[in-house]
């Protein structure tokens, strides 16, 4: 419904020192008690003007044309009001007049800025961004859109209306109404914050509404596979070829630290001879575009040979015939059940297992592990590096022997 405080009136305005004759027709727009007048660029004889209807009286063709013109102006003003209302923009007589006369400055709304950001990101996919990153920002945009519908009954909203309360209510909506986990909700807020900061940098928004809002993540303890669990998966004889293939690709990543997308894109050209004449993996991580060089241990070399003649590998020049991430995780769950591992196994667990069970637990320095994982910052590696109790016990036993 249109605002009850909105009113539109056509009237004749008598200029100062006016003489007899036609008077100019004006539109008076009143919103929230504030009013503003706009010239229609038309005029009418006072004795022919119907004050009640706000139109010229008569049945002649020129009268009909004038009244039709005034009707079209009225329709235009109401359409402008409705548009401002739907977009959550400021509705004042001045803003309506600016839209009416075409002098309004380009206004930015939340979803419009989001679309601008995402469109530019899509154009840079394959150069500066991965498609997965773009998809995450698209999901973030959809979440903001659903929140605007839920909370404000709007299709969009002026960025000027962003404040701490909006951000706080949006976080509550994600976690309570949408039942999204805390860390995932924080990620969506992080994506939204990046878009909002663009508005601040461009001068479209005067201050950062996230200023007093803290985006914090709960630490997730993703326990890597133990040596015993890894051996159980390695030694299990799977009669099903697809399970065997998924197991081997997962083990390959346990011994190289490659992520799903990087092993999926791994080609024969990425297997090189290092300075030590051994085989190395040499790739640029898709997620961060950082180089990652990993000497291949015996197990991954064996797995590469196993699938060297696989049709999918031969046809695409790939190292391994990797399935979709969804299918890989589905089969890994089955593999975990068969091997008696009483916790969820996902493909990303391979990267944790490499960082902890394979490398750090065997005295490989964390700086070396960080380089192989392709991390830009050592702090990122520390999230993966959960030193197992066995390693701590062994190190302390050595210390005890020295002290004695």
CA distance 312 to 323: 11
Q: Go through 79-101 and write b for each residue having 16 or more CB atoms within 10 A of its CB, e for each that does not.
A: ebbeebeebbbebebebbbebbe
Where in the chain are the domains? Answer: 7-101, 110-202, 227-402
CA distance 15 to 219: 73
Backbone angles phi, psi at 136, to 5 degrees: -65, -40
Residue with tokens 């002649």: 60
CA distance 186 to 216: 7
Q: Are 394 and 362 in contact (CB under 8 A)?
A: no
Q: Are 44 and 23 in contact (CB under 8 A)?
A: yes
Residue with tokens 């996230």: 210
How high is the pLDDT of residue 1? 39
How high is the pLDDT of residue 5? 78
Residues of the chain with pLDDT under 50: 1-3, 103-105
Nearest alpha carbon to residue 29 among 69, 88, 76: 76
Backbone angles phi, psi at 370, to 5 degrees: -60, -40
197, containing H or E segment: helix 182-202
CA distances to 70, 79, 159, 253, 399 from 106, in Å: 27, 18, 12, 51, 69
CA distance 253 to 265: 13
Question: Which superfamily is assigned to 227-402 in CATH?
Answer: Intergrase catalytic core (1.10.443.10)
CA distance 111 to 196: 11
pLDDT digits (tens, 9 = 90+) for 329-339: 999 999 999 99
Strand, helix or coil at 235? Answer: helix
DSSP annotation string for 346-364: -TTHHHHHIIIIIIGGGT-
How high is the pLDDT of residue 2? 45
Residue 21 zone, left/alpha/beta (φ > 0; ψ -120 to 50; rest): left
């Amino acid at each position: 419904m249109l605002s009850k405080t909105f009113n539109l009136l056509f009237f004749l305005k008598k200029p100062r020192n006016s003489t007899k004759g036609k008077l100019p027709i004006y539109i008076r727009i009143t919103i929230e008690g504030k009013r503003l007048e706009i010239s229609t660029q038309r005029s009418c004889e006072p004795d022919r003007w119907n004050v009640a209807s706000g139109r010229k009286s008569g049945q002649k063709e020129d009268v009909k044309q004038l009244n039709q013109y005034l009707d079209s102006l009225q329709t235009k003003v109401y359409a402008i009001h409705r548009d401002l209302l739907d977009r959550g923009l400021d509705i004042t007589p001045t803003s309506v007049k600016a839209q009416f006369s075409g002098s309004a400055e380009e206004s930015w709304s939340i979803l419009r800025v989001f679309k601008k950001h995402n469109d530019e990101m899509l154009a840079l996919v394959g150069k500066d961004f991965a498609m997965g990153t773009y998809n995450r920002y698209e999901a973030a945009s959809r979440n903001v859109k659903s929140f605007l519908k839920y909370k404000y009954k709007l299709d969009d909203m002026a960025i000027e209306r962003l404040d701490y309360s909006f951000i706080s209510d949006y976080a509550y909506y994600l976690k309570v109404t949408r039942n999204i986990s805390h860390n995932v909700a924080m990620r969506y807020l992080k994506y939204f914050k990046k878009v909002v900061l663009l508005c601040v940098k461009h001068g479209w928004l005067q201050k950062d509404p996230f200023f007093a809002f803290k985006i914090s993540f709960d630490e997730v303890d993703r326990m890597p596979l133990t040596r015993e669990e890894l051996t159980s998966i390695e030694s299990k004889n799977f009669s099903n070829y697809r399970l065997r293939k998924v197991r081997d690709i997962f083990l390959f990543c346990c011994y190289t630290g490659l992520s799903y997308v990087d092993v999926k894109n791994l080609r024969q050209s990425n297997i090189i001879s290092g300075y030590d004449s051994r085989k190395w993996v040499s790739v640029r991580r898709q997620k961060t575009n950082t180089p990652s060089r990993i000497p291949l241990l015996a197990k991954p070399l064996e797995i590469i040979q196993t699938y060297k003649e696989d049709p999918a590998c031969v046809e695409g020049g790939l190292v391994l015939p990797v399935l979709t991430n969804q299918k890989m995780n589905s089969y890994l769950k089955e593999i975990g059940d068969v091997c008696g591992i009483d916790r969820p196994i996902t493909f990303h667990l391979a990267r944790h297992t490499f960082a902890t069970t394979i490398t750090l637990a065997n005295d490989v320095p964390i700086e070396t592990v960080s380089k192989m994982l392709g991390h830009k910052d050592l702090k990122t590696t520390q999230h993966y590096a959960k030193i197992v109790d066995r390693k701590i016990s062994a190190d302390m036993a050595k210390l005890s022997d020295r002290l004695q």
